[in-house]
């Protein structure tokens, strides 16, 4: 039993060695530079659905060439626009790998206006909050503000940019906001983000925007299975002889 406890402690101790989380901003070029527009607040209380699709080239270009766990994403307020806040009676966020892109160039097919069509086969509920309250004090320029409006996933999403584009599907009820978020707009045929907006109960969106809020993702490496297998194999090799010795000793006592 002591050996097993030691092994469990070793697994916990070695876990950070799989890699520290990294931050990736999409569009990557806006990591420390301002976007070209702001996503302003609306005085009304809204219930709607939004699908945000992100270019996989943003991940591939950052060296993410295989599966990675996405554990959170965040928005940032615009500099010199005052405090920002988001509140909703309920918010659910799904993530999936889609074949529809934020741009139509290079043989890619642009995100469609039908919500269900855009979803990938791995569509997964990653965040659910009821009610939702997020706030930021904002910041004074000229530097960009921190990404402090954070959506931490209850279930990290396994994403492989070689298999498609990243889609976030937001279902929002009773949303209200103050302040403004930094955003980026693109000319046709599009860029690294596109956003489809529509009524919460409608199968189709009402507006497809070639742009969206600048987003920071928190990425975590997928633990190498070989490490766990080797460790468990070593445990088995150590524990099995002890069990056999105890079994033989028990037989001799009889």
pLDDT in tens, 114-157: 999 999 999 999 999 999 999 999 999 899 999 999 999 999 99
pLDDT for the residue numbered 224:
72
Q: Mean pLDDT throughout 197-224?
A: 95
Of 11-15, 77-81, 201-205, 212-216, the least confident: 11-15
Longest dimension (CA), the chain: 84
Contact between 24 and 58 (Cβ < 8 Å)? yes
* Mean pLDDT (the chain, rounded): 86
Q: Mean pLDDT throughout 17-33?
A: 87
Apex 51 CA angle, 45 and 56, nearest 5: 145
C-alpha 231/C-alpha 74 separation (Å) is 36
**Which one, of 62, 39, 55, lies nearest residue 105 by Cα?**
55
6 belongs to a structural domain? no
207 belongs to a structural domain? yes
Take residue 87 and report the two structure tokens written for it. 């509140």
Q: For the whole model, what pTM was predicted? A: 0.82
Total number of domains in the chain: 1
Neighbours of 34 (CB within 10 A): 18
2 belongs to a structural domain? no
Q: Mean pLDDT throughout 64-85?
A: 97
pLDDT at position 14 over 50:
no
pLDDT for the residue numbered 40:
85
Q: Mean pLDDT throughout 58-73?
A: 97
117 belongs to a structural domain? yes
C-alpha 94/C-alpha 195 separation (Å) is 14
C-alpha 210/C-alpha 229 separation (Å) is 45
C-alpha 191/C-alpha 211 separation (Å) is 7
233 belongs to a structural domain? no
pLDDT at position 3 over 60:
no
Alpha helical stretches, state H, the chain: 2-14, 56-60, 115-118, 225-253
> Which positions ≥6 away from 63 have C-beta within 8 Å?
none
Which position has the higher pLDDT, 13 or 249?
249
pLDDT digits (tens, 9 = 90+) for 221-246: 997 765 444 444 544 444 444 444 34
- Domain of residue 174 covers 21-223
Of 32-41, 78-87, 218-227, the least confident: 218-227
Q: Mean pLDDT throughout 205-214?
A: 97
pLDDT for the residue numbered 43:
63
Task: Give the CB-side neighbour count of residue 16, counting CA atoms within 13 A.
Answer: 3
198 belongs to a structural domain? yes
**How large a percentage of the chain has pLDDT more than 90?**
76
pLDDT digits (tens, 9 = 90+) for 93-102: 999 999 999 9
What DSSP string describes 14-30?
HGGGG---EEEEESGGG
Q: Mean pLDDT throughout 177-199?
A: 97
C-alpha 52/C-alpha 70 separation (Å) is 15
Take residue 189 and report the two structure tokens written for it. 């045929």
**Which one, of 137, 194, 163, lies nearest residue 67 by Cα?**
163
């Amino acid at each position: 039993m002591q050996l097993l406890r030691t092994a469990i402690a070793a697994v916990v101790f070695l876990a950070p060695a799989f890699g520290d989380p990294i931050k990736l901003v999409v569009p990557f070029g806006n990591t420390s530079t301002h976007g070209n527009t702001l996503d302003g607040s609306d005085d009304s209380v809204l219930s709607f659905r939004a699908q945000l699709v992100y270019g996989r080239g943003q991940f591939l270009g950052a060296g993410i060439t295989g599966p990675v766990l996405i554990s959170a994403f965040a928005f940032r307020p615009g500099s010199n626009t005052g405090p920002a806040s988001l509140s909703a009676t309920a918010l659910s966020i799904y993530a999936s790998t889609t074949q529809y892109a934020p741009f139509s160039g290079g043989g890619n097919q642009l995100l469609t206006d039908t919500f269900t069509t855009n979803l990938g086969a791995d569509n997964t509920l990653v965040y659910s909050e009821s009610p939702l309250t997020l706030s930021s004090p904002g910041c004074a320029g000229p530097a960009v503000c921190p990404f402090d409006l954070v959506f931490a996933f209850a279930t990290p999403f396994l994403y492989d940019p070689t298999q498609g584009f990243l889609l976030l599907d937001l279902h929002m009820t009773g949303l209200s906001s103050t302040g403004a978020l930094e955003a980026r707009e693109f000319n046709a045929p599009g860029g690294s983000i596109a956003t489809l907006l529509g009524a919460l109960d409608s199968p189709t969106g009402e507006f497809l925007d070639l742009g969206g809020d600048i987003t920071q993702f928190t990425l975590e490496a997928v633990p190498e299975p070989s490490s766990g297998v080797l460790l468990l194999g070593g445990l088995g090799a150590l524990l099995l002889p002890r069990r056999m010795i105890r079994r033989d000793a028990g037989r001799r006592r009889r």
